[in-house]
Structure 1
Amino acid sequence: MTTPHPPRWLPELLRSAGMARAFTLATFATVFASYAIQWIAGVVTFITIVSGLCVVGVGMLVARRRELSFLRLVPISLLVFVSWLLLSLIWSTSPADTLTGCVALLGVAVIAIVIGHVRDTLQTVRALGDVMRWLLSISLALEIVIGILMRTPVHWFGIAGNIAQLGPVQGLFSSRNMLGFVAVIALVTFVVEWRTASIRPGLAVFSVAVGGVLAFLSGSPTVLVVAAAVGIATAALALVRRVHAHDRVAVQWVLGGIVAVGLGTAYILRHQIIAAAGSDFSIRANLWRVLSVYVRYHPVEGFGWFGTWPVEQYPFVSINFTLGKHYTTALNAYADLVLQVGWLGLFLFVGMAGIALIRSWLVAGERRATVYAWTPLVLVALLSNSLFESFTLSGAGWLVLVVCVVRAGQSRSWRERMDAVAADDAQLPDIAEGNADDE
Structure 2
Amino acid sequence: MSEQPRRPIVPHAVQELFGSARFTAALTLAIIGTAFGTHLLLSTMGWPGLLGIVCGLVTLAAISLTTRRASLDWRGLPPISIIVFVGWCAISVFWSNTTLTSVSRVLYLLAFAFLGVYVALVRDTIQVVRSLGDVLRLLLVTSIVLEVLSGLLLDVPISFLGIQGDLADLGPIQGVFGTRNELGLISLVALITFAIEFFTRSVPRGMGQFSIVLASACVLLSRSPVTLGAFAAAGVAALALIGLRRVAADSRWLWQLGLLGAAVLGAVVAWLARSRLIELLNAGSEFEVRLSTWREMWRYMGANPLQGWGWVGEWPMSTPPYFWVNLATRRPQSSGLNAYLDVYFQVGLIGFIAFTALIGLALVRSWLLASEKRSVVYFWPALVLVVLAATSIAESTVLVGYGWMLLIMCSMKASQGMSWRDALRRHEHSPVPNE
Q: TM-score higher than 0.5 here?
A: yes
Give TM-score scaled by structure 2 length. Answer: 0.93
Aligned equivalent of 2:5: none
Displacement of 1:421 in angstroms is: 5.0
| Aligned equivalent of 1:138, options 127, 136, 142 | 142
Aligned equivalent of 2:321: 315
- Percent identical pairs in the alignment equals 38
Q: Deviations over 1:362-419 (max 9, x none)?
A: 1111111100110110000000000111000001100111000111111221233255
| Segment drifting more, 212-221 vs 190-199 | 212-221
CA–CA distance in structure 2, aligned partners of residues 283 and 150 of structure 1: 32
| Segment drifting more, 90-99 vs 144-153 | 144-153
Q: Deviations over 1:99-138 (max 9, x none)?
A: 1110110000011100010001000000000100000001
Aligned equivalent of 1:195: 199
- Confirm or deny that 1:148 pairs with 2:165: no
Displacement of 1:262 in angstroms is: 2.5
Question: The residue matched to 1:41 in structure 2 has which SS?
Answer: helix
The alignment covers a number of residue pairs equal to 423
Displacement of 1:151 in angstroms is: 5.7
Aligned equivalent of 1:116: 120
| Aligned equivalent of 1:412, options 404, 408, 418 | 418
Task: State the Cα RMSD in Å.
Answer: 2.0
Q: Could you tell me whether the CA contact under 8 Å between 1:274 and 1:285 is conserved in 2?
A: no
| Aligned equivalent of 1:48, options 21, 27, 52 | 52
Q: Deviations over 1:135-173 (max 9, x none)?
A: 000100111012111266543522111111111111111
Q: Could you tell me whether the CA contact under 8 Å between 1:275 and 1:282 is conserved in 2?
A: no
Q: Deviations over 1:177-197 (max 9, x none)?
A: 100110000000000111111
Q: Could you tell me whether the CA contact under 8 Å between 2:174 and 2:180 is conserved in 1?
A: yes
- Confirm or deny that 1:373 pairs with 2:379: yes
Displacement of 1:423 in angstroms is: 7.2
Q: Could you tell me whether the CA contact under 8 Å between 1:300 and 1:343 is conserved in 2?
A: yes
Question: The residue matched to 1:92 in structure 2 has which SS?
Answer: coil
Question: The residue matched to 1:169 in structure 2 has which SS?
Answer: coil
- Confirm or deny that 1:338 pairs with 2:344: yes
| Aligned equivalent of 2:79, options 65, 75, 78 | 75
Which residue identity lines up with residue 134 of structure 1 in the other structure? L
Question: The residue matched to 1:8 in structure 2 has which SS?
Answer: helix
| Segment drifting more, 70-79 vs 330-339 | 70-79
Distance change (3 Å), C-alpha of 1:156 and 1:340:
closer
**Mind listing any 5+ residue stretches in structure 1 that lack a counterpart?**
429-439
- Confirm or deny that 1:399 pairs with 2:415: no
| Segment drifting more, 135-144 vs 280-289 | 280-289
CA–CA distance in structure 2, aligned partners of residues 45 and 110 of structure 1: 19
Q: Deviations over 1:275-295 (max 9, x none)?
A: 775222122112111211111
Which residue identity lines up with residue 312 of structure 1 in the other structure? S
| Aligned equivalent of 2:101, options 92, 97, 104 | 97
Aligned equivalent of 2:251: 247
Aligned equivalent of 1:260: 264
Distance change (3 Å), C-alpha of 1:154 and 1:373:
closer
Give TM-score scaled by structure 1 length. Answer: 0.92
CA–CA distance in structure 1, aligned partners of residues 406 and 298 of structure 2: 29
Q: Could you tell me whether the CA contact under 8 Å between 1:190 and 1:207 is conserved in 2?
A: yes
CA–CA distance in structure 1, aligned partners of residues 274 and 180 of structure 2: 25
Aligned equivalent of 2:390: 384
Which residue identity lines up with residue 293 of structure 1 in the other structure? R
Displacement of 1:237 in angstroms is: 0.6
Question: The residue matched to 2:306 in structure 1 has which SS?
Answer: coil
Question: The residue matched to 2:182 in structure 1 has which SS?
Answer: helix
Aligned equivalent of 2:370: 364
| Segment drifting more, 268-277 vs 124-133 | 268-277
Distance change (3 Å), C-alpha of 1:86 and 1:154:
closer
- Confirm or deny that 1:278 pairs with 2:284: yes
Which residue identity lines up with residue 297 of structure 1 in the other structure? A
